[in-house]
Amino acid sequence: MMRTLYLTQDGQLHTNLTADDLFRAAQDPEGLLWVDLDREPLDSCEPILKDIFGFHPLAVDDALRQTHVPKVDDWGYYIFLVFYSILYQSSDEEPIITKEVDVFLGKHYLVTYHKQPIFSIENIWETCQRDTRSLSKGAAHLLYQLIDDLIANYMTVVDDISEEIDLIEDQVFSNPQQETLERIFALKRNLIHLRRLLVPQREVLYKLSRVDFQVIEAEFGVFFRDVYDHIVRLNDIIESLRDLTGSALDMYLSVVNNRMNEVMKTLTIITTLFMPLAFITGFFGMNFFQATSPLGAWTGQLALAITIMLIVFVPVGMYLWMRRRAWM
Amino acid sequence: MMRTLYLTQDGQLHTNLTADDLFRAAQDPEGLLWVDLDREPLDSCEPILKDIFGFHPLAVDDALRQTHVPKVDDWGYYIFLVFYSILYQSSDEEPIITKEVDVFLGKHYLVTYHKQPIFSIENIWETCQRDTRSLSKGAAHLLYQLIDDLIANYMTVVDDISEEIDLIEDQVFSNPQQETLERIFALKRNLIHLRRLLVPQREVLYKLSRVDFQVIEAEFGVFFRDVYDHIVRLNDIIESLRDLTGSALDMYLSVVNNRMNEVMKTLTIITTLFMPLAFITGFFGMNFFQATSPLGAWTGQLALAITIMLIVFVPVGMYLWMRRRAWM
Amino acid sequence: MMRTLYLTQDGQLHTNLTADDLFRAAQDPEGLLWVDLDREPLDSCEPILKDIFGFHPLAVDDALRQTHVPKVDDWGYYIFLVFYSILYQSSDEEPIITKEVDVFLGKHYLVTYHKQPIFSIENIWETCQRDTRSLSKGAAHLLYQLIDDLIANYMTVVDDISEEIDLIEDQVFSNPQQETLERIFALKRNLIHLRRLLVPQREVLYKLSRVDFQVIEAEFGVFFRDVYDHIVRLNDIIESLRDLTGSALDMYLSVVNNRMNEVMKTLTIITTLFMPLAFITGFFGMNFFQATSPLGAWTGQLALAITIMLIVFVPVGMYLWMRRRAWM
Amino acid sequence: MMRTLYLTQDGQLHTNLTADDLFRAAQDPEGLLWVDLDREPLDSCEPILKDIFGFHPLAVDDALRQTHVPKVDDWGYYIFLVFYSILYQSSDEEPIITKEVDVFLGKHYLVTYHKQPIFSIENIWETCQRDTRSLSKGAAHLLYQLIDDLIANYMTVVDDISEEIDLIEDQVFSNPQQETLERIFALKRNLIHLRRLLVPQREVLYKLSRVDFQVIEAEFGVFFRDVYDHIVRLNDIIESLRDLTGSALDMYLSVVNNRMNEVMKTLTIITTLFMPLAFITGFFGMNFFQATSPLGAWTGQLALAITIMLIVFVPVGMYLWMRRRAWM
Amino acid sequence: MMRTLYLTQDGQLHTNLTADDLFRAAQDPEGLLWVDLDREPLDSCEPILKDIFGFHPLAVDDALRQTHVPKVDDWGYYIFLVFYSILYQSSDEEPIITKEVDVFLGKHYLVTYHKQPIFSIENIWETCQRDTRSLSKGAAHLLYQLIDDLIANYMTVVDDISEEIDLIEDQVFSNPQQETLERIFALKRNLIHLRRLLVPQREVLYKLSRVDFQVIEAEFGVFFRDVYDHIVRLNDIIESLRDLTGSALDMYLSVVNNRMNEVMKTLTIITTLFMPLAFITGFFGMNFFQATSPLGAWTGQLALAITIMLIVFVPVGMYLWMRRRAWM
């Protein structure tokens, strides 16, 4: 699906241009044109990019086949950028979904191409339709709005993860489970994944804010610098969150270990308390105390009374001794 | 609640200005005006900020809705800053309480806006009332006094945490508990939280001390540089404290593990000492030693004496053997 | 085996030059010559390098004896480079196989020497034969193509390792084995090995992209800069993967520990449940309950019934108590 | 106690100046004056610092109340410095004792103030009395000698800690105790403490060696640079020592764990060897083998012989099986 | 022992100069003189260094008393350097032996002083005797050769340690012993020791390659830069090796833990399997089954058959249950 927004010099907004209109709009240095190729088949994209905008075939090939790394390529009178939109669903197996956004930026046009619907593009598109002021600041400013919205989503993801870590920390002390452990490791992996996504996008924004591109006027550097600062801060927060997940893992292991130790200690104490009893009953179960008369007295009532007292007081004594040594 | 301090050029201090006085005071380039909007409702704040001081609607909106990151925005003849006041109550669930302070700094006025009472503002306000010298050095110096007081509170928090770590270290060796563990992890989280609060404020102070703002004269850079150094040192101390909590956690785990091992070893030794006794009593409890006469001699007094000697000396021998191998 | 590619100024491609042709080609400043010495014996290499190209004997010695560190040596009108080709077979004992590639780069020639077949050289060689455009951009661009292909293989290796880590993470939660552990450590070692290979090659590319070499025109710096960026990114990814293997190891240990704890707990619970039973049966196995009549009643049917009830209900009671304390 | 050293231009050394002499000496731009205020009461210090040397009241207040952070304040024709002397007694509860030294440095005088006796000051004082050459190089050089001596003490402390770590490493393998563990953690804390002391002093020396102070001639920068290098190296060594204590802790835990495992394994093996014996004796203790005649044969001599053989050979067989599996 | 090498301007090599010859040689700006003081007593060294070469008494004192840190001191027309030679014997208690080498470098002479025989000095000395070309490039180049040889030894040590780590990694999986653990920690300590030795030597070479010394011509900077790069790479490799020893320690602990767990599990399973048997035999050992007739039937043949079946099938059942839960 191809859709177009075209703001002429006199402030008129045209949508859904025909091919001819589009060609004229692409050549108009005073207007502002935004073409969004949303899940458009390759065959219909190519002529638009090559014939109408005159992009280099190599750049077009690069854009249409799904590349894998955010980057910025300077082609002189236009630049080609790759960004990644992000979506986070913590309950999923693969919670971080990334969608590639390819952008061609010229002095007075912006061409976006993506194979899946991108929320940020919908968002900015609607804003532009409602209020042409968003378009009137030029193509570079439009790009800035788009990137700013894309990166703002990362912040949302980071906030979600931060909240999940809080939940897990509570869970670790109250009710640590194997699932808690799996969740901690999943968060750790997500944070490593996030950082890996942000680093190349940070590089792209660093270039946008510092390097002189023909199509970006110096005054816009400060906007991209702003988003760059945003990503740097995101990276800092991600590092904090990694510290927190590491801390949560240590907590989990300590708590589980403590619990396990308590269980094992109690069970072992029970076993130990019964050991002397087993000996005493075994002792009076020996055949000495039955067959020959001189030993017969040992099986008398007095002996039984003493035995039962031993059976009662030995475990009690051991229990008190363990108690004093603070084992329980 | 709105309150005002206005030092005229001739050293006279006026408080509680009327709206008209306020408008004149805001325009007076020779005086010094401090307006504090303490939990003032939005509706009454807006006209003051917009109409009297003429701040840009965007800046005012930004100030009145609670933002989340300390920052400095340069609006030319005034700057807008966000700081965070801190309060620490170690016994609480959420021990670190932060309150936002929004500041507008002009050449000769300071406007502070906050939704909760801020101790540092009370503090500086009273000092100014008592002694107008604090006001006479200009708006930038007043801002410096305020920030210095705000950051000094962080130092108090860090000192409190440092003392708590000392207490916990003693507790770890004398009486390690599950609570000790929870306390260690709480301190770790607080330190991560503190660092996250300080990093953006450090950036703000770095900008205040280096970047040229129209409203801050070059000579004041050295003051903000001082507070910046203070935050850098705070960060260093926080890193040391994180090392110390990490060390305390290692200690806790080692000590608890050692204790647990001692208990399990002693219990297992007791069990092991009784094992041969159980065998001996079981051996002479077998029916061989009763029924048929040729084996009857085994149940005689001599056999019993030998048996009892075994029952006494086998555990003693095992005990001595364990002792020699330094198990106890 | 020696093979040659020689593109004359008029775009003619000559292969398999004779020694005389080769000498003329090496002197021709307008053509482009690529000589590949593939597993060629030392005796036949030396005269080519020394007599035809006039390389310094020290440089030739250095090239022909297998050196160990990637580097670049500037000899003025030619430079000498060492790179490492990589091959990864995850199932092998030593999964990372590296092969040295020695390169002499002049203004209009490239000499490659290697003791094992190198896939990247075959690859570029075939491309050049098919399409002389690859040659027509000059010797430095040819070198760039070769290095780019060599480094691209590292990316493949890193991708393979990344996939393996994914597999291992699944395995860790579903079925952790001693082999899983060995695999994690093998991956860790491979990543350390990879990083150690990349660091000096990164330095070489840094020099190629920054330092002025007589034989590389300034315009090619951007190509080598591109490969340099690629290696920097590879290093970042390797760091992420090391974090992930560290995380996988923690996971493995936590899961194995949890499982072991479960087993030990269950077994210890079984043992503990039988302890009171052993005592009860031992108690009624004592000789008191048989020999003398006043105690004879203890062995009556009522006593047996109570005993059996004890034998049934004591373990049930203990089981319920353990259950309530959430031990199972 | 106040004491003075005053070297006049003609090389004469005067000690114990009267108040009048002191005032003249403080004004003499050609001489060199060192005033040491050793545990002098505040009341008698103030007039000396304020009236004789003319220091700013704020600087004097700062000096006389015990501050907590090493620093350097530039007051124009004099600078104020805070340093920390160190003393280490490894056997103490709080082994690192620090004492503050406050220094005022002018072009031709040095004023030191301290509330406890400082070994380094005694040391340099005596050197100066013995040999006036130490004084003749000027006040900045005298300060350098003092700081150099103060920092040299840190090196001694670091050496002591280094030796202690060596001792502990030996102890860990030969005879690990709870005390060893406490010692390791004490060393860890001391090293964190040391680093925290050194960092701000390093900053002070960095400023002394780089920043231009009016009272320090450029040629002395190299001396302070030397002490700065010394502190940087101290920091490196402290990092190494922290690695070594970390390593010692790992060692301790591994060794203690290994020992504990050996003990538990041996005890468990003993228990396990007795389990079948208990079963065998229990089996022949059942009442089947006594009461009814057809089963009576089971209690004959042959059965007993077989039983005793089982009792002997089952544990031997189990022992050999365990041995073959390398459990012992 | 003092020995001398003296290359005159006309290429003549003189050895074993007399004191007078030495004095003339030290003054000859066109020749090259190398004096090696190998374990020479202090009394005979001093006059040579002070009177013949005219070194400053402080520099000579510094050289003759064993100092402890590699460094370079610039004395104008000569520089004083301290380096450390290294020897590694992995089987020793203290495997890393370092020997100090003190060097005075002038424009046309080199004086080396050492209290133990240094292999690198022997090596270069012999090379110089065989081939005067090594001398003819000047004193700075001679120094470069010496340092290069000294640092090359560090590489050998690092290679040895690297091989040892490989051996230990194999051992860890095949046969982990207490000795393996001690070996891992010894390697860790050696690597920390090595790094501590290299850091100050790296600083010395950094200064040699960057800072302008009067006695080193700018063109030699590139040689020292080469050795500097070498040390930087050594440091990188040492970091990798530390990662590998850390990894080997983790492996050791995991493997030993796994083995221990297997042993404990098997032993505990055996114990658990015998628990019900002990109960069954105890049950039928109770006196109920003997004395009174109505219960007598319980000791009949059928009951015995059922009992024996229980004794056989209960452990089999438990074994199968454990098996299904994958405990074995």
pLDDT digits over E31-73, tens only? Answer: 899 999 998 888 888 888 888 898 887 778 878 876 667 888 8
Determine the pLDDT at residue E298: 62
Token code pair at residue C323: 């259950």
Determine the pLDDT at residue B112: 94
What residue spans of B177-298 are helical by DSSP H? Answer: 178-210, 221-283
Provide the residue count of chain C. 328
CB contact under 8 A, E287 and C282: no
Percent of chain D clearing pLDDT 70 (strictly above): 94
| Cα C181 to Cα C174: distance, rounded to the nearest angstrom | 14
Q: Is the pLDDT of residue E292 over 60?
A: no
Q: Is the pLDDT of residue B270 over 70?
A: yes
E291/C contact by beta carbon, under 8 A? yes
E283/C contact by beta carbon, under 8 A? yes
Q: What is the mean pLDDT of the segment spanning A52-66?
A: 81
| Cα C103 to Cα D269: distance, rounded to the nearest angstrom | 65
Chain E residue with CA closest to D258: the answer is E178
Q: What are phi and psi of C292, to 5 degrees?
A: -95, 140
The SS3 of residue E211 is coil
In the β-sheet with E13-15, what is the strand arrangement from edge to edge? E13-15, E2-7, E32-38, E109-114, E96-106, E78-88, E71-74
Q: What is residue E71's DSSP assignment? A: E
Beta-ladder partners of A7: A13, A32
Q: Is the pLDDT of residue B110 over 90?
A: yes
**Is-contact A176 A256, C-beta < 8 A?**
yes
Q: HSE (CB half, 13 Å, CA atoms) of D93?
A: 3
Token code pair at residue D290: 């006594």
| Cα E6 to Cα C118: distance, rounded to the nearest angstrom | 51
| Cα A318 to Cα D150: distance, rounded to the nearest angstrom | 59
The SS3 of residue B104 is strand
Place of tokens 């390792």: C161
Q: What is the pLDDT confidence band of residue B84, given thresholds at 50, 70 and 90?
A: very high
Determine the pLDDT at residue D293: 52
CB contact under 8 A, D272 and E271: yes
Beta-strand runs (E) in chain B: 2-7, 13-15, 32-38, 71-74, 78-88, 96-106, 109-114
How far is residue C113 from each of residues C65, C110, E92, measured CA to CA in Å? 11, 10, 43
Determine the pLDDT at residue C33: 93
- Closest by Cβ to E181, choosing from D254, D283, D291: D254
Determine the pLDDT at residue E113: 93
Contacts of A209 (CB under 8 A, 6+ apart): A221, A222, A224, A225, A228
CB contact under 8 A, A278 and C278: yes
Place of tokens 């070499």: C213
Contacts of E254 (CB under 8 A, 6+ apart): C181, C249, C252, C253
CB contact under 8 A, B301 and A295: yes
**Is-contact A6 A15, C-beta < 8 A?**
yes
Is beta strand C2-7 parallel, antiparallel or unpaired with respect to B32-38? Answer: unpaired
| Cα E189 to Cα C166: distance, rounded to the nearest angstrom | 35
CB contact under 8 A, B196 and A240: yes
> Chain A residues with CB inside 8 Å of B186's CB?
none
Q: What is the mean pLDDT of the segment spanning D114-142?
A: 89
CB contact under 8 A, C258 and A256: yes
D325/B contact by beta carbon, under 8 A? no
Q: What are phi and psi of A92, to 5 degrees?
A: -80, 165
Q: What are phi and psi of B284, to 5 degrees?
A: -80, 0
Chain D residue with CA closest to B276: the answer is D274
Q: What are phi and psi of E286, to 5 degrees?
A: -70, 150
Q: Is the pLDDT of residue E289 over 70?
A: no
How far is residue D267 from each of residues A110, A145, B282, D24, D176, measured CA to CA in Å? 77, 71, 20, 85, 21
Closest to B260 in 3D by CA, of A300, D34, A227, A269: A269
| Cα A97 to Cα A100: distance, rounded to the nearest angstrom | 10
Dihedral sign, CA of D14, D19, D20, D25? positive
| Cα D128 to Cα D147: distance, rounded to the nearest angstrom | 15
Q: What is the mean pLDDT of the segment spanning D170-191?
A: 88
Most confidently predicted of A80-84, B16-20, D60-64, E308-312:
A80-84
Closest to D291 in 3D by CA, of E290, B293, B289: E290
**Is-contact A85 A70, C-beta < 8 A?**
no
What residue spans of chain A are helical by DSSP H? Answer: 19-27, 42-47, 57-64, 119-130, 133-136, 139-174, 178-210, 221-283, 301-324
Q: How far is B267 from chain A, CA to nearest CA, in Å?
A: 6
**Is-contact B259 A258, C-beta < 8 A?**
no
D269/B contact by beta carbon, under 8 A? no
Q: How many CB atoms lie within 10 A of CB A258?
A: 18
Determine the pLDDT at residue E106: 92
Token code pair at residue E303: 């009951």
Determine the pLDDT at residue B35: 93
Q: How far is A303 from chain C, CA to nearest CA, in Å?
A: 9
Determine the pLDDT at residue D263: 84
Which residues numbered 161-190 in B keep a CB inside 8 Å of some CB on D?
Answer: 169, 173
Q: What are phi and psi of C84, to 5 degrees?
A: -125, 125
Chain C residue with CA closest to E254: the answer is C253
Closest to C274 in 3D by CA, of E287, E278, A279, D268: E278
**Is-contact E280 E310, C-beta < 8 A?**
yes
Determine the pLDDT at residue D177: 83
Which of A294-308, B165-179, E130-144 has the lowest average pLDDT?
A294-308
Q: How far is C279 from chain A, CA to nearest CA, in Å?
A: 6
Mean per-residue pLDDT over chain E, rounded:
85
Q: What is the mean pLDDT of the segment spanning B260-274?
A: 85
C313/E contact by beta carbon, under 8 A? no
> Chain C residues with CB inside 8 Å of E279's CB?
274, 277-278, 281
Q: Is the pLDDT of residue B150 over 90?
A: yes
Contacts of D185 (CB under 8 A, 6+ apart): B169, B247, B250, B251, D249
Mean per-residue pLDDT over chain B, rounded:
85
A256/C contact by beta carbon, under 8 A? yes
The predicted model scores a pTM of 0.79
| Cα B234 to Cα B247: distance, rounded to the nearest angstrom | 20
Beta-strand runs (E) in chain E: 2-7, 13-15, 32-38, 71-74, 78-88, 96-106, 109-114
Q: How many CB atoms lie within 10 A of CB B297?
A: 11
**Is-contact C263 C187, C-beta < 8 A?**
no
Chain A residue with CA closest to C251: the answer is A185
CB contact under 8 A, E295 and C304: yes
Chain B residue with CA closest to D284: the answer is B286
CB contact under 8 A, B272 and D277: no
Q: How far is D9 from chain B, CA to nearest CA, in Å?
A: 38
Contacts of E266 (CB under 8 A, 6+ apart): E328
The gap from C-alpha B90 to its chain's centroid, in whole angstroms, comes to 8
Q: HSE (CB half, 13 Å, CA atoms) of E290?
A: 22
- Closest by Cβ to D272, choosing from E196, E256, E270: E270
Q: Model confidence over E15-28: pLDDT tens digits? A: 888 888 888 888 88
Q: What is the mean pLDDT of the segment spanning D37-55?
A: 88
Closest to D98 in 3D by CA, of D126, D80, D120: D120
Q: What are phi and psi of C97, to 5 degrees?
A: -105, 125
Choose between C294 and D114: higher pLDDT.
Answer: D114
The SS3 of residue A236 is helix
The SS3 of residue C232 is helix
| Cα E207 to Cα E217: distance, rounded to the nearest angstrom | 13
